[in-house]
Every structure is written in C-alpha cells, then in structure tokens.
Amino acid sequence: MKSVLVTGASGGLGTRVVQELHHDGYRVIATVGSEKNRTLFDQLPNVQSHVVDLLDSADVTNFISRLNQESIHAAALLVGGFTMGGFQDTNVADLDSMYRINFLTAFNLVKPLLSLFEAQGGGQFIFIGARPALVAEAGKNMIAYSLSKALIFELANLVNAYGKEKGISATVIVPGTIDTPTNRQAMPDADPSKWITPETISETITFVLSDTGRQLDEPVLKMYNQP
C-alpha cells in the first residue's frame, strides 16, 4: 500500500484530498494544525492524523523521525493562508506572515522529505500555488499573498532540478477560487458554480500520483475559475 503525506488535512481542500486518497487505496499520513482536528479521520482506516506545527522546524523533524523510516511515496503540501492588500496596505508583518504560512510550512517539510525520498529512491511533491502569483493583474491587490505563493513555484523548480536523476519530482497545482465553506461564507454574492471544487482538485492529485501522471515533466496545472 502506497503512503501519501497530506498537510493541511483539516482544511477546505485537505479534508477532501484525504478522503479521495483513502478511497483510492492509499495509506494517508495526515497533518493538522490543531488538536481539535486530530480525530477528524478516525472513521477512516489507514488514515493516521498528527498535530504538527509546520512553522516549527524542530516539531517537523520530530514528526518525521516518529514515522520510523516508513516509506512515503508522495507529499501533498496543502497548508496555506490568504490576506488581501495592495502595495500601500502591505507591511513587513504581512509579508512575514504570508511567507511563513505559504512558504515555510512547505519548506520545513521539503528538507527532511528530500532526504527520505533520496534514501528510498524517489518520491513526489505536490504544492499548491495560486493564480495571483502568476497573473500580476490578479495579484496587484494581494501583494503579500502573491509574493509568498510565487516562492512555491520556484521551490518546485528547485526540487525538480535537484531531484531530476533521483526519481524526485514536484507538481504545482494552481487553483482559482476553491469552493469551500469558508469561501462561500466570505463571498455570499459570488457564484460558486464558477469555482473549482475540492473534488476536482483531489482527483487531479490522484492522477498526478498515478503511473501516467508520474510521467508528466515539471507540471504546473492551472485549475482556474469558469469565466
């Protein structure tokens, strides 16, 4: 049975990703940020949940070492956060907080997982980017968010370069607006039928992990809103 590590498993996207991977026969190692969410997947066999502060590199190292060298085939690093703000509304604290939640939570796991993947002869990373990091017109009113997500694309490039002959690869999925309860609440006047569903993103992730999907070169998969 193949194992996939999923971070942000209690989030609007993560909950569905865990269910989809479980349904497809993967063993899932899920991380959540809060104790209250540890039991979220208790009904699903082959899903184990851990509370890990991914901003704390010591906590991350401790978590990986607790896994006892078991093999992990892939990691879907889903943790992220959002803030609005154009240039005049963005300060160093905003930049720092977006950098930490969107980049550092991934980077802190990339380091130990690269060692693990190298030792076991390969592995896949799945990162979540964002359209405003690629489309400046969309990002100009969310500066800290866009800059922090831009780092995810470069992180994937660097992982792909490093992992080329080691069987290690990175995919970036770039969602538009995800149809989550939080977004529905935050944008009551928007039309959610134009958004991308967690189901569609989860199915894309299982495709990327499949024998066919693994053959894609440096994929950046844009899953934008319907016009």
Ligand X SMILES: NC(=O)c1ccc[n+]([C@@H]2O[C@H](COP(=O)([O-])OP(=O)(O)OC[C@H]3O[C@@H](n4cnc5c(N)ncnc54)[C@H](OP(=O)(O)O)[C@@H]3O)[C@@H](O)[C@H]2O)c1
Q: Could you say whether residue 123 binds ligand X (CB under 6 A)?
A: no
Rounded Cα–Cα distance for residues 125 and 107 (Å): 11
The minimum distance between CB 166 and ligand X, in angstroms, equals 25
Contact pick of 79, 109, 155, 221 for ligand X (by CB under 6 A): 79
> For residue 130, what are the CA distances in angstroms to 174, 178, 211?
5, 11, 26
* Smallest separation (angstroms) from ligand X to the CB of 76: 10
In angstroms, how far is CA 163 from the centroid of its own chain? 19
For residue 176, give every residue at least 6 positions away whose Cβ sits within 8 Å of its Cβ, in sequence order, or none.
131, 195, 196, 223, 224, 225
Residue 148 as a binder of ligand X (CB under 6 A): the answer is no
Helices and strands (H, E) in the chain, number of each type: 8, 7
- The closest alpha carbon to 104, from 164, 59, 136, belongs to 59
Which of the residues 18 through 37 are near ligand X (CB under 6 A)? Answer: 31-34, 37
**Is 104 one of the binding residues for ligand X (CB under 6 A)?**
no
The set of residues, in sequence order, having a beta carbon less than 8 Å from that of 217 and lying 6+ positions away, is: none
79 neighbors 7 (Cβ within 8 angstroms): yes
Residue closer to ligand X, measured from CB, 119 or 207 = 207
CB of 112 to ligand X, least distance (A): 15
Q: Which stretch binds ligand X (CB under 6 A): 42-50, 63-71, 78-86, 112-120?
A: 78-86
Based on the shown chain and the rule CB under 6 A, indicate whether residue 151 belongs to the binding site for ligand X: no
Q: What angle do CA 207, 209, 210 make, to 5 degrees?
A: 65
Which among 22-30, 46-54, 202-210, 218-226 is the span making contact with ligand X, rule CB under 6 A? 46-54
The window from 52-60, 86-94, 136-144, 217-225 that contacts ligand X (CB under 6 A) reads 52-60
Confirm or reject binding of residue 48 to ligand X (CB under 6 A).
no
The residues binding ligand X (CB under 6 A) are 8-14, 31-34, 37, 52-55, 78-80, 101, 105, 128, 130, 175, 177-178, 180, 182-183
